[in-house]
Amino acid sequence: MTLLGIDLGTTAVKALLINEAGETLASATVEYPLSTPRPLWSEQDPADWWRGTIEAIRQVLTKAGASGADVRGIGLSGQMHGLTLLDRAGNVLRPAILWNDQRTAAQCEEMMRRAGSPARMRELIANIPNPSYTAPKILWVRENEPHTYERIAHILLPKDYIRYKLSGEFATEVGDATGMALLDVRRRTWSDEMLGLLDIPREWLPLCAESHVPTARVSQAAAQETGLAAGTPIVGGSGDQPAAAVGLGSVREGIVNVTLGTSGVVFASIEHYPPMRDTAIEVFCHAVPETWFFMGVMLSAGGSLRWHRDVVASGHPNLVSTAGNNDAYDVLLADAATIPIGAEGLAFLPYLTGERTPHRDPLARGAFVGLTLRHTQAHLARAVVEGISFGLRDSIELMRELGLHVNEVRAAGGGARSAIWRQMLADIFEADIALVNSTEGGAFGVALLAGVGIGLWRDTREACDAVIRVTARTSPSSDPAVRRQYAEAYARFRDLYPALKPTFARLGK
């Protein structure tokens, strides 16, 4: 018996087969293009998603030597917030508008105007709209493409379009649905009041279920295209972040996971709906029933280090043979480790593409502050890695202010491979940094959800307990001087954004 997880990312779709012990049997990844028809726009053709998914499923079955009949359950994960519009016949009306599209600032302001106040908006949907969310994209289409808007019959998120193509069913689940800004997050159902304020018909929205609940079955037509067996159940799944959290075992309060990819995500499960406050931390429904999560998103985490590698450090003599690959990061981190904490007064703001948490500011910019003739390439590398780490700590501190007790931080993503960076994070977060045996991300998480959906495990926590274990742990330094030096450097970092915000605003014009 096998379980299939499908993760529809921004650049590629991944299919993963695991067995009932949680062991990976095979994986396959198929890339597809992304379109930027105008500056700050980001779109994809859903037909490319479906073609990639078909190919990935066929490849993974072949690699594992499995047949479609061996797959007992399917889970879906994917990029969140994307707007996919279908007509009554199920035809796509326009390219999907993606999570990283920035065209809808005016529509976010219109949503706030209609809600009346930030407090009222949080009562309705728990979060303050930003251009990533789906609802402002719907308003943009209504205002700018009325001929498309009048033909809408169905609104789907990206992974749920794959569900539709696999089954003919229109369904989603609470985790991904939160990011549409149309869900009553406390009650885990569509917000009729929000839909009324925005004049969006509820019948356009799909069935919304819990993440482990089977919502569809593979159709005969999809079985012929993919090689799967008709009738195979498909569970709700989840958006990429909650799905990845399940894959790391972050399904209990006190376990935080930090993903060090191009962006940086701080994710923390919470077992009681939190009091609403004016904070940049977002509150979403988790893939575990009656559980939510805090999320902080840093737009340029690993992206800042990559920029440093490709632009600032491009002339580094030890990067010539490693240019463009992961070994180059090891060189930079080894250099950084030779420099004292605080980089001898040099600080870096990692806001190269604006920022989302803790500063909801698209005009925020990156900056080196404190440069002197003493500073070397190694100092610059140290400042960049510290700046990224401090930016992630900002999210953790906001969560602590909301009452979260951090017992353990589970690290994932490319940056988590570095022992140097893990020690830095342990010292800066003042918490243990753990690695787990699962490295397959959202595809693994939704494969586990599929196992719960077919009754292999009683619930998601039991599934995680059965297959996920900690493989390495890094604890904060016991030296009080280390803690003091990081505290001082972090305080300097925190002072910089407020001081430079007016300048960023002027530069942005």
C-alpha 80: how far from chain center: 8
Angle between helices 158-167 and 46-64 (to 10 degrees): 70
**Residue 407 carries which side chain, given as an amino acid letter?**
N
Q: Is-catalytic flag, 327?
A: no
Give the C-alpha separation, 212 to 452, whole Å. Answer: 6
Q: At what angle do helices 480-508 and 377-401 cross, to 10 degrees?
A: 90
**Which residue matches tokens 């499995």?**
66
DSSP string, 109-125: HHHHHHH-SHHHHHHHH
**Residue 103 to residues 36, 136, 141, 333, Cα–Cα distance (Å):** 11, 9, 11, 36
Distance CA 432, CA 425 (A): 9
How many contiguous H segments (helices) and E segments (strands) does the chain have? Answer: 17, 24
In angstroms, rounded to a whole number, what is the distance separating the alpha carbons of residues 456 and 161? 26
Peptide bond into 340 cis (omega under 30): no
Q: Cβ neighbours of residue 308 under 8 Å, at least 6 residues apart? A: 332, 380, 381, 384
Sign of CA dihedral 374, 300, 256, 491: positive
Angle between helices 441-453 and 240-248 (to 10 degrees): 80
Catalytic residue among 70, 240, 335, 427: 240
H-helix or E-strand spanning residue 419: helix 419-429
Q: Compute the 3-state secondary structure of the chain and give helix, strand, coil in percent, each to the nearest 5.
A: 40, 20, 35
* 261 burial via Cβ count (<10 Å: 0-12, 13-18, 19+): middle
Chain centroid to CA 40: 19
Write out the two tokens for 201: 């018909």
Between strands 264-270 and 292-298, the pairing is antiparallel
Q: In the structure encoding, which two tokens stand for residue 437, read together?
A: 């045996």
Exposed, middle or buried by CB within 10 Å (0-12, 13-18, 19+), for 102? middle
Between CA 315 and CA 180 the distance in angstroms is 44
Read off the amino acid at residue 468: I
Distance CA 360, CA 211 (A): 29
The catalytic residues are: 240
